[in-house]
Structure formats: structure tokens, C-alpha cells
A and B are shown apart, each in its own frame.
Chain A
């Protein structure tokens, strides 16, 4: 058993990040350059990165350490949250090296093992290892198998070996199960970190605090007081930069709903966990996903799910093409660039409360938010007033941009007559706290190094989410009478059919 470091005790209220070697597969990719290395660098700037951390980039392209480092520096100067300090960068980058190998080449993994052993030798033969699979998904299998064959999945006594797997975690339930089997055949589930960067965002983390640290919300957080809940993720971008190729294979449902938005839904709808341990929280989250009513026939999908593509229009005053005219998109494409889903959670707490999720490209603006729409107050006192009571209370949790929380309530307009208007109480993170939040990847990487899996998806969460999504995908792509593909003009708030989805319940999408 390892002796605890007494100087860590009470120093910070988070799990302890331990020194380790971090191997990034897919090191020449955009994710490594734009997100992972700047995140690790920013942790170093903040003094959060443990001393002795070594970073090894693993990729196919032949490169020297110097070339790799210079490419990383070039992008870090552009994207780093805290700017670029040459002295800290100089110290940080000397711990970064490059390892050239095909993902399919066992010899490349054996030489990686030798390299890691050499690093560990400095630590008396011991060393922790974190493998970050940031490559294209088709390489996940062979990377994991080769890690196992090289014995890199095994940790030395008193040490750990962990793996972070990037999305997409499968393309359906079958592939996710297969990938989970390969992962769990290589690493234990407790050492597997399936990353969903939405969970690293400040407001997503604040959801639990809002619900369970404020006595005023939780008593109202149920079907008795809540009319419905909306989760919106709108993007004004389309398929710029060749994204059409990837998007054609995924679509809005698989790209965003299966992971990010269902994760947010589970945080909003879960029961209070017994504790804040990773499994305590994830046990409750998975119950939500498991309780989703399944839209398991094409008819149910047609009634509860709307898919759409955008036609040519204007975004931010600029003309933009329709989805089928985008770069690397088939003119006959059957891929949805917009999806709206009506969900029901079959639990006591949420019985009869619809949850609406919508995600779309080429909408008027970029925004992700959760809105809790409360039931209207009995209007017995004010129903005689012209106009009645204008709308119900809405609690809005803004995930991005402009992270914050607002509450809409009804107030009397000053004057001698009794007139009511909605007013908004607004809390902005940036205004109130000033200090910028760390990037989601910073928090998540630090958590993985510290062994805290709370903000990572567990196997059963991923599989339950795919189970729900698969019914919809099957209805769209395998049934003889698939629900139709709707259309909307780029720059508008989505198709009329999505509006009708809510009108049927007497609700309407919140205007963002």
C-alpha cells in the first residue's frame, strides 16, 4: 500500500493529480494541437500539472521531437486560454516527445513500452500511465489490442494505467458494445474514462450544486411543479472546413444527442446521489437513461422525433448554402442536420413531464441551454386582469456561451393599475466571478490524472443511451416507411414540424 503524501492533505478540495506519463494516440491531429496540449500547458501555467509528467505523442507520421514540439508551440500561441509564456512553455515542452508508429504495428507499441520503462526507471521502476486515444474511431480497436499485447494495460504494483477514450464511442449499440468489450478486455472499467467534454463545462458541473445545494429548487423539481424541460443546442455553423464528410456519417442525433445532450438530461433529471463519488453520481445518471420511454416503432418515432435539413438561407447576414449543397455532403443526403426529440422519463418524479431536446446546425446563433418550465400559478386572483398572468416561471441554465442562470418571474408594472409583466433575474458567471473558467479539457484531464471519473461516462450509460438512439436510427434508415425529413431555412429556428411537436402538448420552444 502506498503511503499517502501528508503535505497534500487539506491543501485543495479536489482529488490529487499524480505524476504520470501521458501517451496521446493521434498526436498529429487537431484535437491534440487545439485542445489537449493547450489544456496540459494551461494546467502547468496554473501550477496544477504534477512535476514529472511526461507527454508522448504517438502517431503514424514521421516526425522528430523538435518538429512535433514546434507544431504544438505554433498552435498553442494561438489558442491557449492563458496566453503563451516562453519560460513555462520551455519547461513544459522539454517533457513532450514524439513516438512514430503505425497504430497496427506491435513493434511500435513494444518500443513505446521500452520508452515508458525508461521514464519509469527514474522513479525507481514505478510509474503511472495515462493513454489518451484521440485518433479516428476506426483505430480504437487496434490501439487497445496492441496496448494489451505490449503489456501496457497492466500497471505496476502501487501504480495505475488508465485510458481515456474520445467520442464517438461507437456508432450504435452493437459497435459501442464491441468497443466496450475491447476496452474492458484491455483496461478495467474503473480505469476507463470515456470523455464527454460537455461535462467539463462549469455550468454542467454547477447543475448538481444548483439542484442539491439550494434548498429552494429540489422540492419543486418534479412533475407536481414542472410543466416541461427543454434542452437546446444550437449552432450557427454549418459544414465549413470539410466537416461534411464526418457529419454525413453521424448526423445530429448521433453526434450530439446520444452523448452530450443525454448526459445533460441525466444531470437535470437524476435523483440525489448517495454521495459525490464517481459511481454514486453515475448510478443515478444511468437510471435516468434507463427510464427513458423507448420510441421503438417507426410510428412512435414519427410522433416524437423530428429530423430536418436546412435549405439555403442567411446566417449572421451572410448567405449560406443548404445542407445538401455543402462541401463533402451528398446531394441526396439522408443525414439530419437538425433533430428535435420529445422524451418521457418513466419515474415517479417525472411522470407525465415531457423533455424536449433539439440540436441543429445553421440556426440563428450558437447557444446551449437547459430551461425548466414551471407550471402556471393558479390564476384565481389575477384572471380578471386584461391579459391574465403573462407566462410561467422559467429557470434557464446557460451552458455556453455566456454561462449563467436566469429565472423568469412575474411582476407588477409600477403604476396605479394592476398590470403584470415577466421580469428576469440573471446571474452571469463572467460578471459575478470575473475569473475565467478553465477549459473543459483542463478539468477533465486533471480529473483523469487524479483518478476521479465522476465527469466521465460509464459503460452502462453509453450503452443505454445507444439503445434509445438505435430505435430512432432504425426507424429512419431501416423501416419501409421512414418518418419524413423536414426542411427549414438556414438561419431560422428549425422546421415547423418541430414547433408542432411541442404545440401538441400545449408548449412552445423557448425563444433564445
Chain B
């Protein structure tokens, strides 16, 4: 390969020291022997996979920030499948942060760049460098590909995706369903779902109020305003409302409508607005009662309001994270089985196919 077409030079400060793949463990040990004052911390294996050109260096920056709060062994994988010649290169580095302003806590990172037909090599290379006993969190960036196989998914504990980045989410979810059959414990975390957290908490909080709760059986309309790139987030919120409230989904010629458990119709209005954050408003109306969670473009807070005649209650909460790094940080911090997502997934997929 000529140097001019090589996207990553051997000397790449962002990725650390270039090392032979066979010598990664040895080189990592040397890295730690250089300085006794550093503590190697790791709570998980975090594999970040991307087929986007240049992603390896971007992801190294993300890991630098992520490891402040989430100690891990990071394994970055960049792949160029358009390059016919098979190759495999590796770099190692450590991201260090001062904990409590005194102790240097470090997390090691191994970066792999693969070209050519890579399916088997990729899987085995990753497997060979996992920290034993620690869970495997696999962050898949972008569209799914045939690299995602059942034998890979079998060893993953937590699978992080962003369904908003998919051209055909219905098809991609079908792939996940197919390859995850042998791993029923697989936890899926979707950035699209995480982006609606404060909206869901806000709606739930507003319905704690007896005034809103009384109006629940009489809901007539749900209106959601979202960014055009984040329709999945809007649909997931809608699916969540429907599943939790026991509403039936009725799809008709590309439109979605809902029916309450008492059989009354609930109108659904989804509006895409290019000036909107992922979600800018979720409004639920029942007669004179209106429950609304809003986020203005550029705002630093989400506003929750409940209006019922003369009664008005309002409060603020933080906005949901926006960058991929922040979303992953939040997902890792929350942990858990993400069972609510699993619960609404069938309804969401039904809406995708409406």
C-alpha cells in the first residue's frame, strides 16, 4: 500500500504506539511498567466498531473523554472493506485522568485497522484481546453489516446502536433479531431511545399529579414534534405511551392512530421540524387538560407543564445528551437490563412498518 493512500500513518499520536498484533500484550505490559504511579482501571471491555473512514481517530478522542467516568479496556476497530488487500494493523495507548486531583487512573486502548475480507479475522482479533471476566460492551456505529454474525453477538453483553442512523431501521431490527437468537440475555441500548429519557421521565412525572392521572382515560390526542433525522425517537416515545397506557396501534395507509382500552380513538400527529432538537415537544391532550414536555432549540433545559383549567404546574429538568460520547456515557451509567426498551420494541417495530 502506498503511503499516499494509507488513511492512518504509522506514527499517529491520536492512537498511540503502532505495535505488531502478536506483541500487543507484551507492549501493553511495557506501557504499564513505565510508571508505577498509574493505576490501570477497567470495569468492562468496550469495543467500538465503525466502517466510516477516519472513525478510528475520532473514536480515540471519544474514548479519552468516556474513560473519565467509565474505566474500560477500549478496543477500537476501523475497517475498510473496499481495499482488496487484506491487512491488520494495531496501536496501543492509555488514557489517563487524575482521580480526585491526585491519583492517575488509566485505561488502555487497543486500536485495530483492518482491510479486505475481514469477517473471521475481525472476530478472532477482538476475542483475543478481551479482558477476561469483564463484560463486553459492543458499540456499533452506523449501518449494520454482515460482520454482525450470530457467533459475534453470542459473546456480547451489551449492544449499543443508534437506530436513527439507519436508512432502513425495520430491516436492521430484523437482522438483530435474527443474530441474537442464541443470546437471549443480550441487552440492546439504542441512542434513539436514550435521547427521549428526559421526555419520558417528564411525562411520567406529570402523570404523578392526580389532576393529570384523572385525565388519562380521556386522552384524545398525542402530538410530537421532532427533528427529521430523529423520527425513530418520536416513534419510540409513541410506542412507549401506547404500551404503558394499554392503547392499541392502528396503522392505516402509512398513518398511525391509537385506540384507548375503552375503544375511543386517539389522534396521533407527528411533525418533523428541521430546526428542532431530536424531540422538541410531546403534547398529550385530554379535554381541558394538557400535559406537555418541551425543549426549545438551543435550550439547556426541558420544561414540563401541566395545564388543567386554572391549574398550572411547571418544572425544569436537564436536557438529554446530544453527542454520541455523551449518549454512551449515560447508557453505561444507567446500566440495567433496559427491559422497558425490550418491552416497547415490538410496538415500535410495528409502527416502523406502518
Residues of A within 8 A of B (CB): 2-3, 5-13, 16, 18-19, 44-47, 49-52, 85, 87-88, 91-92, 122-124, 126, 158, 402, 428, 430-435
Contacts and interface: CB of A to CB of B under 8 A. Distances in A.
Interface stretch (B46-54, B196-204, B273-281): B196-204
Interface in B122-172: none
Interface stretch (B21-29, B108-116, B307-315): B307-315
Contacts of B240: 7
Interface string B289-333: 000000000001110101000010111111000000000000001
Contacts of A51: 202, 205-206, 208-209, 304, 306, 313-315
Contacts of B211: 123-124
A48 to B, nearest CB: 8
B67 to A, nearest CB: 8
Contacts of B304: 51
B208 A19 contact: yes
A50 B213 CA distance: 14
Interface of A is mostly: loop
A157 to B, nearest CB: 11
B187 interface: no
A19 B208 CA distance: 7
B291 to A, nearest CB: 10
Contacts of A6: 207, 216, 244-246
B318 A47 contact: yes
B201 A19 contact: no
B208 A5 contact: yes
Interface residues of B, number: 49
Contacts of B214: 124
Interface string B195-236: 000101111111111110110100000000000000000000
- The 7 A-B pairs at the shortest CB distance, nearest first, are namely A434-B69, A47-B317, A7-B204, A51-B315, A10-B340, A6-B244, A52-B313
Contacts of A402: 100
B198 A47 contact: yes
Q: Among B69, B204, B343, which residue has the most Cβ atoms of chain A within 10 A?
A: B204
B81 interface: no
A435 B318 contact: no
A108 to B, nearest CB: 27
A33 to B, nearest CB: 22
Contacts of A122: 311, 313
Nearest to B319: A47
Interface string B65-82: 000111100000000000
A8 B41 contact: no
A7 B207 contact: yes
Contacts of A158: 210
Given A47-B198, A50-B208, A91 B99 contact: no
Contacts of B306: 51-52
A16 B207 CA distance: 12
Interface string B180-197: 000000000000000000
B336 interface: yes
A11 B198 CA distance: 11
A11 B99 contact: no
Interface string B30-69: 0000000001010100000000000000000000000011
B271 interface: no
A410 B68 CA distance: 32
A119 B59 CA distance: 51
Q: Among A12, A85, A434, A435, which residue has the most Cβ atoms of chain B within 10 A?
A: A434
B251 interface: no
A13 B302 CA distance: 22
Contact of B333 (A11, A88, A92, A435): A435
B318 A10 contact: no
Nearest to B302: A47
Contacts of B264: none
